Amino acid sequence: MSTVTKTRHDETVSTRKPSAIKRLLTNNTFWIFAVDIVLIVFFTIVSIDNSFFGPSNLRNLMSDSATALLLGVAIAFLLGAGEFDISLGANLILSSVVAGRIAVELAPYGLAVIIVGSLAGALVTGMVIGLFNGLIVTRMNVNSLIATLASLGIVTGVAFIVSSGTDVTGIPPVLQDGVGLNTVFGIPLPFLVAIVIWGLAWAALKYTRFGLHVLAMGSSRTAADRAGLRTKAKITTLFTICGGLAGVAGFIDITRFAATNIAGHTQDSLSAITAAVIGGTLLAGGVISILGLLGGVILAVILANGLIVIGVSSYYQLIIVGAILIIAVWLDHFKKGEKSLRLFTR
């Protein structure tokens, strides 16, 4: 046992660090990215002209992952704080409907105005929904799974009222050309937005007090309360922020298609949770892996795209996706068994 006596620039003073290899193998995110790399190599080799890894398809993969990344960040933080949210898909829909309506009204005023107006509308809508969720959970003390299940219905209903029942028509195509299908240095703009937000989330979790408190509340709500954290206010704030992320996803959605899709997005919440959990975020709270989330999203996107690129029949796609899911989770388990490789033996 080493003694903690001197102050140093880093906080760990330990004389026995395991080898780099061992640390790598027991790291959760390593495994998910390992699976990703194996699949990428596989699909690249099997696809005609290695087109899977060509610039065009890489752009496809990036575009495909934008929404999942945004919702994934939202749900990872909520899960980490010990809460659930299955209303994210409905939030996305209502936000996209509001953004769409605004875009239609602002169509004559040029791209910049359209973007600012509809993005603001989507963001505000998303945050209001998030705030609504947060208040039900903290003021009315309703379990977040039930609360967001209820708000899922309410929000969907409101979306129909706002859109008069069908998808919003007349969204200016310039939104698609200017944002949704636009690229910056060859990188699709929606993906850039998502990855920047992802990066900010990673930094917030690692470096800020807010991120730490999210983890504390999920690890032990009692401990957080006793330590003097205003947990109710923080949870409400968290729901609001995450709602805002779903709102941004709704805005991105209408820029990609110049249309809303009210009948869609049914699996969005579940896909986000799956990506987060595969990536190492604990369902029970207390541990968030934003890096792992990226690995999980990449996995989902690679599978959805790659299996079609190499021509696997859609029936087999379902089987294969299920099998890979099991393998990814099993590998995670396998890593946990290696606890003996860990840092501290006494």
- Residues numbered 74-133 forming contacts with another protein, rule: CB under 8 A: none
260-279 residues in contact with another protein (CB under 8 A) are 261-266
- Residue 141 binds to another protein (criterion: CB under 8 A): no
Distances (CA, A) of 190 to 66, 83, 92, 171, 263: 6, 27, 15, 17, 22
The binding track of 54-73 with respect to another protein, each residue x by CB under 8 A or -, is: x-xx-xx--xx--x------
316-345 residues in contact with another protein (CB under 8 A) are 342-344
**In terms of CB distance, is 170 or 322 closer to another protein?**
170
Rounded-to-integer distance, Cα 169 and Cα 111, Å: 17
Rounded-to-integer distance, Cα 151 and Cα 310, Å: 40
Classify burial at 339, counting beta carbons within 10 Å of its beta carbon; exposed 0-12, middle 13-18, buried 19 or more.
exposed
Burial pattern 120-131, b for ≥16 Cβ within 10 A else e, equals: ebbbbbbbbbbb
208-247 residues in contact with another protein (CB under 8 A) are 208-210, 212, 215-216, 218-220, 222-224, 226-229
**In terms of CB distance, is 139 or 230 closer to another protein?**
230
Task: For Cα atoms 165, 170, 176, give the angle at the middle one, nearest 5 degrees.
Answer: 115
**In terms of CB distance, is 133 or 231 closer to another protein?**
231
157-186 residues in contact with another protein (CB under 8 A) are 160, 163-167, 169-170, 173, 176, 180-181
The CB density around residue 302, as the number of other CB atoms within 10 Å, is: 23
To which residue do tokens 């008069």 refer? 164
| Residue in 287, 321, 329, 331 binding another protein, rule: CB under 8 A | 287
User: Min. distance of Cβ 69 from another protein in angstroms?
Assistant: 13
- DSSP for 169-195 reads ----THHIIIIIT-EETTEEHHHHHHH
User: Min. distance of Cβ 30 from another protein in angstroms?
Assistant: 18
**In terms of CB distance, is 4 or 37 closer to another protein?**
4
**In terms of CB distance, is 52 or 84 closer to another protein?**
52
User: Min. distance of Cβ 82 from another protein in angstroms?
Assistant: 11
29-48 residues in contact with another protein (CB under 8 A) are 47-48
Number of residues that bind another protein (CB under 8 A): 87
To which residue do tokens 């698609």 refer? 176
Q: Which two tokens stand for residue 140?
A: 């009315």
User: Min. distance of Cβ 285 from another protein in angstroms?
Assistant: 8
Contact 235, 83 (CB under 8 A): yes
7-26 residues in contact with another protein (CB under 8 A) are 7-14
